[in-house]
Amino acid sequence: MTDLSTTIAGVRFPSCFMNAAGALCVTRDELVALGKSAAGAIVTKSMTVEPRQGNPEPRYYGFPGGSINSMGLPNLGYKAYAELIPELKRFGKPVVASVAGLCEEDFPTIAAAINAAQPDLIEVNLSCPNIPGKPQIGYDPESSERVIKRVRQIITVPMGLKLPPYFDPAHHEAMGKVIGRYGIDFLNMINSVGNGLVVDPEREAVVIKPKGGFGGLGGRLIKPVALANVRAFYKIFQGRIPIIGTGGVMDGVDAFEHLLCGASAIQVGTVLVEEGLDVFGRLDKELAGILARKGYRSVAECRGMVKEL
10: left (phi over 0), alpha (psi -120 to 50) or beta: left
Integer CA distances (angstroms), 294 to 90, 181, 255, 288, 303, in order: 35, 37, 14, 10, 13
**Cα 250 from Cα 246, distance rounded (Å):** 11
The CA-to-CA distance between both ends of the chain, in Å, stands at 32
Sign (positive or negative) of CA dihedral 191, 195, 196, 201: positive
- Clarify whether 128 is annotated catalytic: yes
**Cα 178 from Cα 6, distance rounded (Å):** 26
Integer CA distances (angstroms), 181 to 9, 111, 146, 161, in order: 17, 19, 12, 13
> Smallest Cα–Cα separation from 18: which of 93, 85, 91, 72?
93
Contact by Cβ (8 Å): 186, 9 = yes
Catalytic residue, from 16, 25, 128, 261: name it: 128
**Cα 160 from Cα 191, distance rounded (Å):** 14
Report the catalytic residues: 128
